Structure 1
Amino acid sequence: MRTLLYLDDSKTSIHLVERFLEGLVKVIGVTTIPEAVKLAEAEDISIFLLDYQLGNRTSFEFADYIREKTQKYKNTPMVLVTAFRSDGIFYRGSKKGINEFIAKPLEKKSLRETIQLFLEKPDFRREITPKYLSAQCIAWRSGTNYHQYSPDIMQHLTGNSAEEVGKKMQEALGKKSTSIMAEVELVLHNVPYIP
């Protein structure tokens, strides 16, 4: 039976994936990037399943390691699992060698179908070419400070007004978008502040 390495900082998610994929692949679950690196070096992995958000880091760091620092995993399929449905995340992931994307919450049938696809066709790759870089922002107010966080750029900004923080986020996203892809039209989804 082939082996899948699942990197997720949630042990509950790891147990769920183990149950969902029982009988299809052997699942090795790890919660940190250093653990994933260690196991990738020690084991023979057929597929990597990577949760995007890992605390204040992302699994893109691990994807970079796999594609740039290893020879044996240069073409091993990587599937990104994320609750953030963002063209920016998908696009950056595809540029880092991610083959496919699965949205959370995970569903057993679609997860099994995706993993089966990569067992049969390990070279399959979904190409992402968005016309727009859409960004998700989470906004909140704490006392007199206003906050916005964007998982697309892993940036948390604060200010004295919603307008100030909104402008800062637009600037940060604009700078990041030009570094991600040329001639992209930035679409910022404004999220109301939660009192």
Structure 2
Amino acid sequence: MYKVLVAEDSNVDAKYIESILKEGGYELFFAKDGEEAEELIKRENFDLVILDVVMPKKNGFQICREMKKNEKTKNIPVIIVTSKKEEADKYWGKMQGADEYITKPFEPIDLLVAVKKCLKK
């Protein structure tokens, strides 16, 4: 079973992601802000991390960048799921090391395809 961290400060969005992924049998962990996500990443061995960008304390871009610089976490795939839709945002997300970049609102299939792609690497 794959362990997936979802860092999302919106309860509605977190529940939406949970409803999409629970059918796939993923073991889901949730963080409500960037610092909580960081603590979980240090404690657990995740197969995938899904990050919102706009969160309290630390944003998803910062967490992604730190993960990709860290020897222990650099190979964990990261999917950024955000309302930041501009091409510059997408470019910045990829520059931080994100494997996939999905903009809200999104269809369940968009997330499922990105998750399967990331877990096959």
Aligned to 1:22: 22
Q: Give the aligned CA root-mean-square deviation in angstroms.
A: 1.6
Q: Distance in 2 between matches of 1:44 and 1:23?
A: 21
DSSP 3-state at the match of 1:79: strand
Q: Trace 1:34-183 onto structure 2 (pairs within 5 A).
A: 34-55=35-56, 58-68=59-69, 70-121=70-121
Q: Which amino acid aligns with 2:44?
A: E
- Of structures 1 and 2, the one with the larger relative CO (CA 8 A, separation 6+) is 2
Q: Distance in 2 between matches of 1:8 and 1:107?
A: 17
- TM-score under structure 1 length normalisation: 0.57
Q: Distance in 1 between matches of 2:94 and 2:78?
A: 10
Q: Distance in 1 between matches of 2:3 and 2:57?
A: 27
Structure 2 unpaired stretches of 5+: none
Q: Which amino acid aligns with 2:118?
A: F
Q: Name the structure with the higher helix share.
A: 2
Structure 1 unpaired stretches of 5+: 122-195
**Larger-gyration structure (1/2):** 1
Counterparts in 2 of 1:120 and 1:11: CA distance versus 1, 3 Å? same
Q: Deviations over 1:131-189 (max 9, x none)?
A: xxxxxxxxxxxxxxxxxxxxxxxxxxxxxxxxxxxxxxxxxxxxxxxxxxxxxxxxxxx
Aligned to 1:153: none
Q: Which amino acid aligns with 2:84?
A: F
Percent identical pairs in the alignment equals 25
Q: Distance in 1 between matches of 2:36 and 2:107?
A: 26
Q: Deviations over 1:84-116 (max 9, x none)?
A: 211111111111111111111132122111111
Q: Residue 3 of structure 2 contacts residue 29 of structure 2 at CA under 8 Å; is this kept in 1?
A: yes
Structure 1 segments of 4 or more deviating over 3 A?
none
Q: Distance in 2 between matches of 1:52 and 1:100?
A: 13
DSSP 3-state at the match of 1:54: coil
Q: Deviations over 1:8-46 (max 9, x none)?
A: 111221111111001322221111111111111111101
Number of matched pairs: 120
- TM-score under structure 2 length normalisation: 0.89
Q: Distance in 2 between matches of 1:66 and 1:57?
A: 13
